[in-house]
Amino acid sequence: MLPLIYDEPYIDPCPPVRLNPNLKGTGSNKILVIDDDRILCRGIEARLRFYSYNTCFAYDASSGLSTALAEMPNLVILDLGLLPGYDGYWVMESFKQFPSLADVPVIVLTALSAFTHQMRCRDAGAQRFLEKPVTNLRLMTSVRELMG
């Protein structure tokens, strides 16, 4: 079985992002990961921290929404299907109800690969759709593109 995040056989060409340390804690580089797989979350956290991003986590849809409202992230990495209670679509639709979250970019990271899911995610507001397993290069490229 392949890991959910793996390294390419070559070196990641993306240079590390070194953000202004005075911005830490202001939400200027904060990424919220919403996924029920805690092991995957820790892998994503290690990669994001290596590139100097601040991270916060939620392990189900409803706490994902409340964490987003409390933390005001600049980006959300969201699982679609395995969130207890509600799904990732509900999270994206809920974000639209709050002006402070309506424009937060979302990367969907899911094992669901059907083309219909990709189109539905775009319609729900996701900016990127990545399938698990995802390479570090694809994940970090998407993060950098959306974080600016």
Write out pLDDT tens, residues 77-136.
999 986 667 999 999 999 999 999 999 999 999 988 778 899 999 999 999 999 999 999
Q: Which CATH superfamily is domain 29-147 in?
A: Response regulator (3.40.50.2300)
Residues 6+ apart with CB under 8 A from 28: 19, 74
- pLDDT of residue 1 exceeding 60, the answer is no
Q: What's the mean pLDDT in 63-89?
A: 91
Q: What token pair was written down for 69?
A: 């409202």
Cα torsion through 140, 127, 59, 89, rounded to 10: -160
Query: Which pLDDT belongs to residue 16?
Result: 41
Query: Which pLDDT belongs to residue 5?
Result: 56
- b/e per residue 29-56 (b: at least 16 CB within 10 A): bbbbbbbbbeebbebbbebbeebebbbb
Of 15-19, 66-70, 141-145, which gets the smallest average pLDDT? Answer: 15-19
Q: What share of the chain has pLDDT > 70, as a percent?
A: 80
pTM over 0.75: yes
Q: Is the dihedral of CA 31, 64, 33, 121 positive or negative?
A: negative
Amino acid code (one letter) for 14: C
Average model confidence (pLDDT) across the chain: 84
Q: What's the mean pLDDT in 57-72?
A: 95
Q: What's the mean pLDDT in 46-57?
A: 95
Of 27-31, 42-46, 124-128, which gets the smallest average pLDDT? Answer: 27-31
- pLDDT of residue 22 exceeding 70, the answer is no
